[in-house]
Structures are given as structure tokens and as C-alpha cells.
Amino acid sequence: MFAPDTVVSLDRHDPLKRKRDEFLLPSDTIYMDGNSLGALPKQAKDRIAKVVEQQWGNDLIHSWNKHHWIDLPLKVGDKIAALIGAEKGQVIACDSTSVNLFKVLASALKVNSQRHVVLSQRDNFPTDLYMVQGMSEFLGDEACQLKSVSEELLLESLDESVAVLMLTQVNFRSGRLHDMQLLTRRAHEKGVLVVWDLAHSAGALEISLDKCEVDFAVGCGYKYLNGGPGAPAFIYAAKRHHPYMTQPLSGWMGHARPFEFEHDYHAGEAMLRFLAGTPNILSLVVLDAALEVFSQVDMAELRTKSLGLTELFINCVDSTPSLSDFELLSPRNKLERGSQVAYSHPDAFAISQALIAHKVVVDFRAPNIIRFGFTPLYLSYQDVWSASQVLIKIVEEQLYREPKYNARSKVT
């Protein structure tokens, strides 16, 4: 087990430790749920107050031009592009991940129109699978058909019937990290387009979309990007697809000339065609400000710290006999996991609730998984050490057996 003085030394030499001060965090809480909802950046709080009071409150509708509200989807998209290994002009911030996934799936299927199968992993995030199922029910199996297989069968399932390979880079349950470059290359060898869901990786590790020659990607704005609950999601589309990509949600903001109010639809240039309705300006403002915390952050350093935090926690659990009933679901090889660690336990729900009650915020995923999220920008090594000690206390004293920790709310 790591010695306490080692933990202190790790924090002392942490190149990202200054970033913690840029967030509003309860002083008595260890927040390990940034993989579900990122903490509030101070800049975001200040920015939204200014926008509400001055721009909306005083300048009103003039703000669309005066304060460039109309440009926010692309401005925010370019900031995200820098974090996911994409050149500018290939990312736009808008709508939700689910809606954006529908758009890029429709576009990819249109490009690969001679094929109809969308191949995915069986334990992919459910909404991704649901979107394909919904599209299949609407269009019919001859136009779109979901084929879901285990991770081990993904490569051998790539054949000439598959139009799109749709995967989440980091598995939401286990935290396992896919080899993006390998899977994308092997898919392309079979003429398959690839859509990556970056919800659990954007802002948490190095991503190289352009280098890996990814076709399309979507991602979430409210997890590691800290954009607030329900923050706008984003779409990436490789520029080589821009001349001929289309999407069916042809709303007025995706029009080439939205304020001409023409009778017929003419798609806007490049990423603008992925817009549909009016952008949610207040949410975009928050996300835009939140992304400023990544300024002067080396994503390689962020990844190194993430791996160090997860290694420390796993080591603490492994070296504690009273925690032997916890089954590690995340890969032991650190290079194969994202920025979360997942354990299964028969009393996972009650233990997670007891942890939360003792100011260590984690989350539970059915049927029996506790997820510990590690956000390198604001989590310290001391936080991780302290969280492990709280877990040990809860288990050894069987505090989780108290009835109040077994009462379930709507959101788990």
C-alpha cells in the first residue's frame, strides 16, 4: 500500500494542483463523480451571472450580434476540438448526445447507403443502442439494423454488410478503454465508417481523432468538460466528409441562410448543417467558460495524473483484506482504462449510499456496480487516500447495513 508520506509527495509535485482552485467544491466533500457531472468552475459561475445581468438583462436581443451569441456553437466546438485531437472547423456544440448520435448515424448510413448494419458492443451505453433501435423501427431493417456483439467479437464481426461501427471509447460500466486507432483502421479496411462516443473520455485523457482518421464522434459537455447539468453535447465530423454529409433534422439554424426565411431547405456549410433549432445560449455560455479551465493544461500530464489516481485507489483496495469481496471490473492494466474505477459488490447500492452520506460522492450502476470517478483537474492524491479510508471504515464497521442506505431515489 502507498504510504501516507508518499501521497503527500505526489500532491506536492502535481503539476495540475493549481487547477483545483478554479472550481467551487464543498470543503468537507471528496467528489468522485465527475464522470457523471463535473464540478462547477468558478469562471462559469461568474460568466453566467454577467450574461444574464448585462447581455440578456440589458442588451436583450441585440446580444445575438453584439455579444456574438450566434457564433457560440462553433466557438465552443473549436475549444473542444483542441481537447480531442481535431483541427478547428470539425466540431460543433449543440443539442444532446442522443440527438447528435441520431444525426451522425443518419449521415453515416447515407454515406454508406449500400449497407445497413450498425455494429456495436452489447454493453455499450444504452442510449446509443436505443437510438439505433429507434432508427431501425422508423426506417425498417432494410435501411438500418443493429447488431450488438461482445467486445471479443467486434473485429471478426466487421464484414461487408456493416455500414457503421458505433462504439463508446470508455465503457461506462467498467471504464475499459478501447484502442481507437486499431478499431478505426480495421473498420476502414472493411469499408466501414466509425462513430465514436466520447462521453466518458473527452476531457479525461488524450484523444487523437484526426490522427486516428475517425469519421464521426459525439460527446457530452457535462461530465469531464464541467459544463453543468444538461450542458450542450458536441459533434465531430472529419472534414473529408463535409462536402456530402447530410442529416435529417433540417431545422432553420442548419440552413445556409437562416434569416432569409426561404421556403426550401438548403444546408449550411460544413458543421453548421448539424444545427437544428435555436442554440441554448445560457448553457453554451456556461460550457464556453468551463472549457477555460483547460487552458495551459497538457493533456499528457492530465492523463498521467489520472492513471496515478486510479493506481493509488486500486492499490489501497487490493491491500486491504476487509475489501476482498470487491471485484475489480476495470482493467488492471492502467493503459486499458479511462479515468474511472468500477467494482462490483453484492451490497453495492447500500455501500455507495453510505459513502455519499460520509461525504465521499460516488455513483451506483445497476445491478451491483460502484463507480469511482477520478477528475484530475480537481481531485488530489490525498482525496483518493482519504476516500479509501472511508470505504474501509464503512465496510469493516458494516455501516452500510443501516436501513437508510437501502432506500432508493429516482436517480442513482
Catalytically active residues, by annotation: 125, 197, 222-223, 371
- Give residue 217's Cα distance to chain centre: 11
Question: What pairing do the DSSP bridges indicate for beta strands 40-41 and 117-121?
Answer: unpaired
DSSP codes, 168-195: ESB-TTT-BBP-HHHHHHHHHHTT-EEE
- Give residue 20's Cα distance to chain centre: 20
Cross-strand partners of 341: 372
* Closest to 359 (Cα-Cα) out of 106, 32, 23: 32
290 touches 43 (CB < 8 A): yes
DSSP codes, 109-170: HHHTTT--EEEEETTS-HHHHHHHHHHHHHH-TTT-EEEEE-GGGHHHH--TTEEEEEEESB
**Residue that has been written with the C-alpha cell 487490493 in this structure:** 318
φ and ψ at 244, to 5 degrees?
-130, 10
How much of the chain is helix, strand and coil, in % rounded to 5? 45, 15, 40
Q: Give the C-alpha separation, 236 to 201, whole Å.
A: 14
Q: Give the C-alpha separation, 324 to 391, whole Å.
A: 12
Q: Give the C-alpha separation, 81 to 131, whole Å.
A: 24
205 touches 339 (CB < 8 A): yes
Count of positions (residues) in the chain:
412
* Closest to 169 (Cα-Cα) out of 130, 131, 136, 212: 212
- Show Cβ contacts of residue 265 under 8 Å, excluding neighbours closer than 6 positions: 250, 255
Q: What angle do CA 335, 339, 342 make, to 5 degrees?
A: 95
Grid cell in block for residue 201: 473520455
68 touches 281 (CB < 8 A): no
3-state secondary structure of 412: coil
